[in-house]
Amino acid sequence: MPVSPSRLSLAVLLLSPLAHAADFPEDPLGWPPVTQVSKPWTRWWWLGSAVDKPNLTSELEDFAKAGIGGVEICPIYGAKGAEDRFIPF
């Protein structure tokens, strides 16, 4: 009994996804490697731009130890009484 062209086409369409099954990774739920870019980032609002390098370094290292991938720093105004430590930007 001959197979009609429409049934043959239907069979090809239904079976064609199986041809690509070998292209999928072994674990389809596997995660890509964790990088600095894929870790969560945070926004750090500086309530005054009076900072010093040792304390700033310490704070950023603490963020990294906690698993933060990056920090966007947003200074919003200067702190009264610390004008001599302002960072011009």
Per-residue pLDDT tens digits for 27-54: 767 777 888 888 999 998 887 777 778 9
pLDDT number for residue 24: 61
Cα separation, 36 vs 19, whole angstroms: 36
Return the percentage of the chain with pLDDT > 70, whole number: 81
| Phi, psi values for residue 39, rounded to 5° | -80, 160
pLDDT number for residue 89: 64
